[in-house]
Amino acid sequence: MKSIKKVLLLIFVFAFSIIFSPILNAKSVNSTENNQKSTTEQTVVTSENSANAVQDEGFDVKENLIKFAKDSGIYALFTTHWKALIMIVISCILLYLAIVKQYEPLLLLPIAFGMLLSNMPGGEMYHTELFADGKIHWANFFQTAGLIDYLYLGVKFGVYPCLIFVGIGAMTDFGPLIANPKSLMLGAAAQLGIFITYFIAIGLGFLPQEAGSIGIIGGADGPTAIYLTTKLAPHILGAVAIAAYSYMALIPVIQPPIMKALTTKKERQITMKQLREVSKREKIIFPIVITIVAALIVPSATALIGCLMLGNLLREAGVVDRLSKMVQNELINIVTLFLGISVGATASADVFLTEQTIKIIVLGVIAFSFSTAGGVLIVKIMNLFSKEKMNPLIGSAGVSAVPMAARVSQIEGQKADSSNFLLMHAMGPNVAGVIGSAVAAGLLLSFLG
């Protein structure tokens, strides 16, 4: 076979040379004649330019080096983009907090790195002008869009937060809430900080849509804060998201002083009886009923509540284990990465380094504090009318930072009485807070959207 291929190849080359040789010869004759005619002219030109050839070559190299230096990000950082240098430092600090201090690393790390990428001069990873005025400017999108611009579309359309809610629902056990329905009241009361902060923000000169986005930080629910802010005030998304996740990580620092200030040692020592066992049927019916009721009362919350309850139904149904495991692992991990990078990228220097951002960060602390206080105080009020007393510490778990807020209640309860076990009791208002923050976001979206 090899010999046959060689013979065929030689025949092809021979035939090609026979067919095209006249054309090649004609071209060579013409080119020879033309070369002879232009030889004299070229000689004159060459002799005139040879003296300046070295100088011209050196000049071109110098110009290229200057152009390269001016096009570099280093030159831009110290001239026109000096604010970006500050943002790079801030992103490195956030990376330190995520990696070394482990403050909400699953989202704080990609948020910080997204901030780092978008503030690199000349990187062209994210363009704020493509999403100006709360709209997507499709006319210029595909000509100028960078990688993060495409990823941000998932945030803009509200896809990422809803998918994360599916994962949260699949990882959440609503059993403690079903066993103690009073927990719904605690989850609702812990949203107090959202509405108080809303009015404070209005008083500070924020627009109603901005105030609503800032207030939702008090719900201690990152995906909900991102979802609502994307709809109402996307230009402050970076500040709101960073404040929300930073304060969620600082719950063990923020909540205990408030809990102690509002309760006596005797109240912190209250022991609660063990919760009843919840049947599988109750756990299956619960997400269906909550979806119907919430969607009918607050239609604007249907997307968040529906996705949360879908994930929980996948968990409790027991017939779609593959889907449940996928949602709890692969799906939520991938979406969390994309969401974090996209949200972090919105914190560009021009938007983030403003007086407004400082106000948002301060208001975030106020929102968290009032939400914690609201949960504790509602338990104390309910105890006035109930024979079975509840430990007020579980009220602080009404914010939806699952399960961190419930763990704080447990830790503070054991400090007062080492034999007291409040974790499961605190998980009731904790998961109720997830529902409460989604409903609160739906209300704000209904009134302000």
Of the listed ranges 203-207, 346-350, 361-365, 438-442, the one predicted with least confidence: 346-350
Burial 72-89 (b: 16+ CB within 10 A, else e): eeeebbeeebeebeebbe
Query: Is residue 243 in some structural domain?
Result: yes
Q: Which residue has the higher pLDDT, 48 or 405?
A: 405
> Backbone phi, then psi, for 149, in 5-degree steps?
-60, -40
Q: Is the pLDDT of residue 407 over 90?
A: yes
Q: Is the pLDDT of residue 3 over 70?
A: no
pLDDT band at 264 (very low <50, low <70, confident <90, very high): very high
Query: Is residue 173 in some structural domain?
Result: yes
Q: Cis omega before residue 223 (within 30°)?
A: no
Query: Is residue 117 in some structural domain?
Result: no
* Rounded CA separation 136/61 (Å): 42
pLDDT band at 350 (very low <50, low <70, confident <90, very high): confident
Q: Which residue has the higher pLDDT, 64 or 4?
A: 64
Q: What is the mean pLDDT of residues 348-362?
A: 89
Query: Is residue 19 in some structural domain?
Result: no
- Domain assignment of residue 407, given as a range: 152-448
pLDDT band at 99 (very low <50, low <70, confident <90, very high): very high
pLDDT of residue 121: 85
* Rounded CA separation 94/115 (Å): 10
Instruction: List Cα–Cα distances, 280 to 268, 285, 315, 316, in angstroms.
Output: 33, 9, 11, 7
How many structural domains comprise the chain? 1
Encoded amino acid at 127, one letter:
H
pLDDT band at 12 (very low <50, low <70, confident <90, very high): very low
Model confidence pLDDT, tens digit, residues 187-235: 999 999 999 999 999 999 999 999 999 999 999 888 999 999 999 999 8
3-state secondary structure 108-122: HHHHHHHHHHHCCCC
Encoded amino acid at 237, one letter:
L
Nearest alpha carbon to residue 221 among 439, 406, 23, 438: 438
Average pLDDT, the chain: 85
Nearest alpha carbon to residue 269 among 424, 395, 417, 422: 417
pLDDT of residue 369: 94
Helix (H, G, I), strand (E, B) or coil at 46: helix
Query: Is residue 442 in some structural domain?
Result: yes
Question: Is the torsion defined by CA of 211, 213, 216, 218 positive or negative?
Answer: negative
* Rounded CA separation 428/272 (Å): 13
pTM for the model stands at: 0.80
pLDDT band at 31 (very low <50, low <70, confident <90, very high): very low
Query: Is residue 443 in some structural domain?
Result: yes
pLDDT of residue 414: 93
Cβ neighbours of residue 350 closer than 8 Å, sequence gap 6 or more: 83, 128
Of the listed ranges 71-75, 259-263, 284-288, 371-375, the one predicted with least confidence: 71-75
Query: Is residue 304 in some structural domain?
Result: yes
By percentage, how much of the chain surpasses pLDDT 70? 84
pLDDT of residue 27: 42
Q: Is the pLDDT of residue 118 over 50?
A: yes
* Rounded CA separation 43/52 (Å): 15
pLDDT band at 390 (very low <50, low <70, confident <90, very high): very high
Query: Is residue 338 in some structural domain?
Result: yes
